[in-house]
Amino acid sequence: MNIGSKNKKRVVLPSRPDPPSVDQILEDINRAAPNDPVFSILEQTGQDSSRPADSEVESRFQQCRQYLDLNERLQEVRGQLLKQREDLRAAGEQLDRDVAEVQGQTL
């Protein structure tokens, strides 16, 4: 046991404050100046605080669907490739046996 460890006092940290309420968050947003950095970042990224347009939601939905479909297809192809690899390995082993047999017959 370390002698120094007896002399160390345990530091008690204060408890965390409660998270802000929805009303407090809204009040904070409403009090923010128009040139607040958060709003300028949203403008640069093409986002704003309003609800996204239906066409944007539909576009993102279609992108997600395409991703899921492509992912499913990749999983299917992966399974096919694993089977083909196993078939090729088995064919290679059979070929090695056949070559060895032919070599044994010619000697």
Q: Is 33 among the domain residues?
A: yes
How many domains, in total, are found in the chain? 1
* Structural domain containing residue 40: 20-50
Q: Is 36 among the domain residues?
A: yes
> What are the tokens at 69?
């479909």
Task: Give 26 or 37, the one with higher predicted confidence.
Answer: 26
Amino acid at 93: E
Q: Is 90 among the domain residues?
A: no
Q: Is 28 among the domain residues?
A: yes
Q: Is 39 among the domain residues?
A: yes
Per-residue model confidence (pLDDT) at position 2: 54
Per-residue model confidence (pLDDT) at position 37: 79
Q: Is 1 among the domain residues?
A: no
Non-local CB neighbours of 103 within 8 Å, separated by 6+ positions:
none
- Cα–Cα dist 38/29, whole Å: 10
DSSP code of residue 15: P
Q: Is 82 among the domain residues?
A: no
DSSP code of residue 50: S
Q: Is 35 among the domain residues?
A: yes
Residue 3 confidence (pLDDT) above 80:
no
Q: Where are the alpha helices (DSSP H) in 9-53?
A: 22-31, 37-44
